[in-house]
Amino acid sequence: MLLARLMRGGLMVALSGVVSSKLFTYSNMAQRAAIAKLCKTEEFSNIVLKLDEKCPLGVNKTLQKNGVSCNLNRLEVGTDNSLAKFQKEAGENVRIFKDSITKERYIEIDLRQIIERYTGYDGRIIWESMYRISQKESLMTQLLSGVHCSISIHLCAFYNENPAGRPLYMNHELMRERVTPSHVKNLLFTLDFLLSLLPIATNLAKSEGYGDDCNKMLKEVKGTIPPIAYDYQIYGSTKSLVTICDLWIEVMSCVECLRCKVWGKVQFEGMRCAILLVKHALGEKVVIGHQDLVCYVNLINRLSTGVSLYRQFLVESEFQTQANPSTCGEVSGSSCKQLPIPGSCQSTW
């Protein structure tokens, strides 16, 4: 497994299994910055997602056991997550259309126009169902926790109880409540896992179909990839891992909050693409399309942003502690100590 130690200005990777037996030091900041630019291009920001999907039977059973109706649009406060509200906020870059044959609805959207933020939606049962799906696969559980951590960071960092038309702010109290060092450790591991697949992904990108700006950004991403020879054999059989991703994506069908559903589908489609990239690296025949790669790079960008936002939270919390020592126990526990930065499996902040 990829082991790493946080260093000032770089990532020290113990290359045992995932790479080689050598110790290699590099910074992934350039990769993350280049991917952020790529996600701002039209080719890697526009996406089409299916809206009309049935809630999986397994989730229905879970809901029944917990005495909850299948309408999961439970809000912590009275916010409006309707399609009309979402479409008004996102503007003209949202298009809803029906398939002429299946009559199913799809949404075409520019991801640059929608921020991943607090909505008031309570998705606890959704997450419980997803963890139950992956409970027998430790790798997938850790990757799920990493994505979950990033989403939690975003909703804490872009918060307002009634966000429509109101300024968003970082809710430090909610961040301390929902995000723990162990969660951040899994976030950093997941980001490293995804970045290790960039050499495969960039080779599959069909540059001839992209515009000049996109090709320029794609070339920049390729130029940031470190000269590491990864060994993906350690993951063994990936058949069950793809199935887990498929089930996660099905569970996203149960989410009523449209903003949550869009970003959830994008990120778990991106994780499915990552697993397919592993299979491709192992010589298996897989089909990876452009939209798969769009989801994959946007997943990396979401996690990268989550890492940066959490680092901002640590800095702001430390500053507040120094300015008002009486609040130190609230920031870092019972004693006046600096907020802990997680240990192994870490990416560069």
Q: 3-state DSSP call for residue 255?
A: coil
Residue 190, exposed/middle/buried by CB under 10 A (0-12, 13-18, 19+)? buried
Residue 223 CB contacts under 8 Å (≥ 6 apart), including other chains = 34
- Give the integer Cα–Cα distance in Å for 249 and 268: 6
* DSSP designation for 275: H
Which of 109-113, 159-163, 225-229 has the lowest average pLDDT?
Answer: 159-163
- Please report, rounded to a whole number, the percentage of residues in the chain having pLDDT higher than 90: 51
User: Which pLDDT band holds residue 324 (cuts at 50, 70, 90)?
Assistant: low
pLDDT one-digit tens code per residue, 26-60: 679 999 999 999 999 999 999 999 876 666 655 66
- 24 forms bridges with which residues in the sheet? 13
- Give the integer Cα–Cα distance in Å for 296 and 293: 5
Which pLDDT does position 54 carry in this prediction? 66
**DSSP symbols for 101-155:** TT--EEEEEEGGG-------B--HHHHHHHHHHHTT-HHHHHHHHHHHHHHHHHH
Which pLDDT does position 96 carry in this prediction? 81
Which of 130-144, 146-160, 193-207, 226-240 has the lowest average pLDDT?
Answer: 226-240
Cα 99 from chain centroid (whole Å): 28
CA atoms in the 13 A half-sphere facing the CB of 258: 24
- Please report, rounded to a whole number, the percentage of residues in the chain having pLDDT higher than 70: 70
* DSSP designation for 8: T
Angle between helices 239-251 and 124-134 (to 10 degrees): 170
Quick one: how many helices (H) and strands (E) in the chain?
Answer: 13, 6
Which pLDDT does position 165 carry in this prediction? 66
Average pLDDT, stretch 255-259?
84
pLDDT of 78 above 80: no
pLDDT one-digit tens code per residue, 267-306: 999 999 999 999 999 999 999 999 999 999 999 999 999 9
Average pLDDT, stretch 5-10?
32
Euclidean distance between the first and the last CA atom of the chain, given in angstroms as a whole number: 20
Length of the chain: 349
Which pLDDT does position 258 carry in this prediction? 85
The answer to whether 283 touches 235, Cβ cutoff 8 Å, is no
Which of 46-60, 181-195, 243-257 has the lowest average pLDDT?
Answer: 46-60
